Structure 1
């Protein structure tokens, strides 16, 4: 039986502004198959603009078929964008992480948490006159929380934020979301961790 994969998130997981095949969950499945892993197409629960609580509600409304052999979680940028408190993020992210582990059959090692990229370096942020340093600091706080919560429960962690900062030019036509080439770099970073999770 092929492995089952659930991808949870927001615009970065749904691949806003890129073709479906260029979303990083789709690229990840392609790369895993190239390594000989039999895995289904990803089931994606993600909507552009979702915050942690909105993802939770989206999961409530979705048709889920656990256990999943791999669950990825990338969420939080819209909490930061809306100026929500870090403490609220920790509480809600922790709840999502516990749900992800439950959906992975209680196996925390099958859950991969992906860091939030830094949108403050993008053309969109510059054109909007946003404070790149303030955005970077806020996202660093959020990512430290996500990494801490992942480590607390034994989930896996992948930090793609440095990639987003090194390659601000690799964005889609909207000037904000990653383009296919940047998602490919994310996939390269996520692949070995995901492969270890499903091994």
Structure 2
């Protein structure tokens, strides 16, 4: 009898465990599949804005091309580097140089005509005239051609004279080559005075760096190894004066 009761109890328990799901079990639902995101659904603000490019044109002769110093040691390159340091990091700067050692105002005019650069530069610098003096070209050629070059610089700067900087001519008398020749200094004073007066009369920015080069005999570090042209140190001192002017002009954009 006891064996029958035990067998009956076992049979009932087994049937109950097989007849249904466990107590308190929850029905599982498949995960919701989201549709793929279309490219058009992404906001434009999620994409980074590309950097804006500033265009800088440097016109001149050996002082602009950087005779006897490395390519990154010439003043346009130093100015480019320092502008980028002092403007928002989103900016790039595209530097174009039209300059060759020995060029006179006539040579520079011809070179600009031949190269025909665009007229959308944000900054243009002009440093020219020393070879007119060195080659003993009559002064009235400079008087005639310097204004033409200034007007060309303005045209290349989107026809906006506020984006043009004229740089004074360095004085090579204060180098081992010039040997302190006062006649050279007097001649260059004549050129620089004409240029400054023209710029002042026409509200064009003129930056004087000549006095820096007149320290060349007492401070040989301002003269390149060729004993004639400015060194990287001299060019960096030029830029100390040019930089704040350039920054203000570029902020006008």
Same fold (TM over 0.5): yes
The answer to whether the Cα contact below 8 Å between 2:125 and 2:164 also exists between their aligned partners in 1 is yes
Alignment check: 8 A CA contact 1:29 1:39 kept = no
2:58 alignment partner in structure 1: 7
**RMSD of the alignment, in Å?**
1.2
Cα distance in 2, alignment partners of residues 180 and 31 from structure 1: 14
The correspondence for 2:113, drawn from 42, 57, 60, is: 60
Q: CA deviation at 1:120?
A: 0.7
What is the match of residue 137 of structure 1? 186
2:227 is equivalent to residue 175 of structure 1: yes
Distance 2:176 2:130 in 1: 17
* CA deviation string 1:11-62 (max 9, x = no partner): 0000001111101000001111110252423100000000001000010111
Contact 1:119–1:176 (Cα < 8 Å) also in 2: yes
Could you say which residue in structure 1 is the equivalent of 2:23?
none
SS in 1 for 2:93: coil
Mark the structure with the bigger radius of gyration: 2
Q: When the two structures are superposed, what TM-score results if normalisation uses the length of structure 1?
A: 0.94
Cα 1:77/1:41, change in 2 over 3 Å: same
Kindly tell me: are residues 84 and 178 of structure 1, through their superposed partners in 2, closer, same or farther at Cα, counting changes over 3 Å?
Answer: same
Does residue 1:160 correspond to 2:209, yes or no?
A: yes
Offset of residue 63 of structure 1: 4.2
Which of these residues, 166, 169, 173, is aligned with residue 113 of structure 1?
166
Does structure 1 residue 146 correspond to structure 2 residue 195?
Answer: yes
Calculate the TM-score normalised by the size of structure 2: 0.74
Structure 2 residue ranges without an equivalent (≥5): 1-51
Q: 2:250 — aligned with what?
A: 198
Q: Which residue pairs with 1:44 in the alignment? A: 97
- Match for 2:86 among 22, 32, 35? 35
CA distance in 2, matches of 1:84, 1:33: 39
Counterpart of 2:69? 18
Identify the structure with bigger relative contact order (alpha carbons < 8 Å, sequence gap 6+): 1
Tell me the number of residue pairs that the alignment of Structure 1 and Structure 2 aligns: 195
For 2:239, the equivalent position in structure 1 comes to 187
Structure 1: runs of 5 or more not aligned: none
